[in-house]
Amino acid sequence: MAQPGLLVDPNPLGSYGSPPGVVGMHASATVDCVLQVSGESVFVLEDNEVRLRPGDWLVINGVVHSWRNDLDEPAVLIGVMVGAEHDGIPKR
């Protein structure tokens, strides 16, 4: 049960299915601003991937995605999530 004021993801983690080798595909009713501080991250979409390096910014607007770290070092990110209404968030 969600606490008052918190958004509930209408889809449990993994409910979107995943491309081979990918886990945790999800989407949420938020706009996320993410800064890669150190290390590298791979932002995984259903049909594409974006590699983030230190200093890279990413703005996510309710898309189905997952994250991956391909390196043997920690990936440090800073993110701000702002609740938003997304009629297009697919419910599965």
Q: Has residue 69 been placed in a domain?
A: yes
Q: What is the C-alpha to C-alpha distance for residues 73 and 59, in angstroms, rounded to an integer?
A: 24
pLDDT value at position 84? 80
Q: Has residue 15 been placed in a domain?
A: no
Question: Tell me, what CATH number does 57's domain have?
Answer: 2.60.120.10
Q: Has residue 19 been placed in a domain?
A: no
Each residue's pLDDT, cut to its tens digit, for the chain (92 residues) gives: 555 555 555 555 555 666 666 777 888 788 999 999 999 999 999 889 999 999 999 999 888 888 999 999 999 999 999 888 766 555 54
Q: What angle do CA 26, 74, 20 make, to 5 degrees?
A: 40
pTM: 0.73
Residue keyed to tokens 């080798």: 21
Q: Has residue 5 been placed in a domain?
A: no
Domain range spanning residue 77?
Answer: 30-83
Q: Has residue 23 been placed in a domain?
A: no
Q: How many CA atoms lie within 13 A of 24 on its CB side?
A: 5
Q: What is the C-alpha to C-alpha distance for residues 65 and 25, in angstroms, rounded to an integer?
A: 5
- How many structural domains does the chain have? 1
Q: Has residue 74 been placed in a domain?
A: yes
